[in-house]
């Protein structure tokens, strides 16, 4: 779970990059998505095949959604910055800096509550 969490944390770095630097934002977001996919492919061969969705599968799926949402958010702020709406893009980045971690920690809390 730690490597997956670190990948999710890495995807949040785009919220601190200026939306006018769209290439940097997109590069980091794409790297996060590809890293998550590579990690999933490398670990699936080590786990037994089951006919149902485990709690770990739910955690990985939720983390993947967060990484993908960070990519979409960076696309949105980059688009807004290209249309000279940098104030709105900056506000979205500011909200995302707090909303994404809170939502992810809620997912982690739900996961840990299910374990016990």
Q: pLDDT tens for residues 49-93? A: 888 878 888 889 999 999 999 999 999 999 999 999 999 999 999
Q: Can you tell me the distance from the alpha carbon of 75 to that of 65, in angstroms, rounded to the nearest whole number?
A: 15
Does pTM surpass 0.85? yes
Structure confidence at residue 116 as a pLDDT band (50, 70, 90): low
**pLDDT, the chain, mean:** 91
Q: Can you tell me the distance from the alpha carbon of 77 to that of 81, in angstroms, rounded to the nearest whole number?
A: 6
Q: Can you tell me the distance from the alpha carbon of 111 to that of 58, in angstroms, rounded to the nearest whole number?
A: 8
Do 73 and 82 touch, CB atoms closer than 8 A?
Answer: no
Q: Can you tell me the distance from the alpha carbon of 102 to that of 83, in angstroms, rounded to the nearest whole number?
A: 29
Name all domains of the chain by residue range, CATH numbers in brackets. Answer: 2-115 (1.20.58.390)
Tokens of 65: 């959604």
Q: How far apart are the first and last CA of the chain?
A: 16
Please give the average per-residue pLDDT across 97-115, as a whole number.
Answer: 88
């Amino acid at each position: 779970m730690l490597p997956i969490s670190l990948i999710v944390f890495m995807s949040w770095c785009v919220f601190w990059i200026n939306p006018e630097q769209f290439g940097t934002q997109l590069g980091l977001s794409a790297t996060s998505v590809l890293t998550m996919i590579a990690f999933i492919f490398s670990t699936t061969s080590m786990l037994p095949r089951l006919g149902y969705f485990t709690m770990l599968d739910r955690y990985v799926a939720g983390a993947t959604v967060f990484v993908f949402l960070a990519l979409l958010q960076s696309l949105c702020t980059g688009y807004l910055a290209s249309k000279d709406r940098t104030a709105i893009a900056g506000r979205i980045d500011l909200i995302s800096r707090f909303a994404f971690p809170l939502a992810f920690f809620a997912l982690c809390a739900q996961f840990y509550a299910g374990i016990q």
